[in-house]
Amino acid sequence: MRLSTVIIVQGLLLSGIIASPIAAPEFSEDSTDISLAADSKQQYNLCFEQTKSENCYQHSVEACVKKHKENKDPDADAFCSFWCSEIKTVDDCKSLKKSLNYNPSFACDEQKYC
């Protein structure tokens, strides 16, 4: 068997393992992964007081950041600062994203507000 054939076969085997559903992480109710889905069509109801968002872990910026850093989230500070802030208008969303340098997969203009 030629070396190039061996490399191609190994590559196909590895890509099959990586793409298999067994290699994908499972979501469960007890999951500690509290990051948001990277779905650009996701729509949120951005209408909450400071620390009242369901994405603000334990309704505390500090607890939220700690939890996300435990999960190796490099955007923990920006994520938690955004989701633990008061957001009621599209301008609140845009100004927070800009000031925190937070770049989620959703656009503020496409979300629901109060």
Is residue 92 included in any domain, yes or no? yes
Is residue 30 included in any domain, yes or no? no
Is residue 75 included in any domain, yes or no? yes
Is residue 104 included in any domain, yes or no? yes
Give the chain as a 3 state SS string. CCHHHHHHHHHHHHHHHHHCHHHCCCCCCCCCCCCCCCCCCCCCEECECCCCCCCCHHHCHHHHHHHHHHCCCCCHHHHHHHHCCCECCHHHHHHHHHHHCCCCCCCHHHCEEC
What's the whole-number mean pLDDT along residues 74-79? 97
| Total tally of structural domains belonging to the chain | 1
What is the model's pLDDT at position 39? 46
Residue ranges making up the domain that contains 69: 42-113
**pLDDT band at 38; cut points 50, 70, 90:** very low
What is the model's pLDDT at position 21? 44
Q: What is the pTM of this model?
A: 0.65
Query: What pLDDT digit, counting tens, does each position of 60-70 carry?
Result: 999 999 999 99
What's the whole-number mean pLDDT along residues 1-28? 45
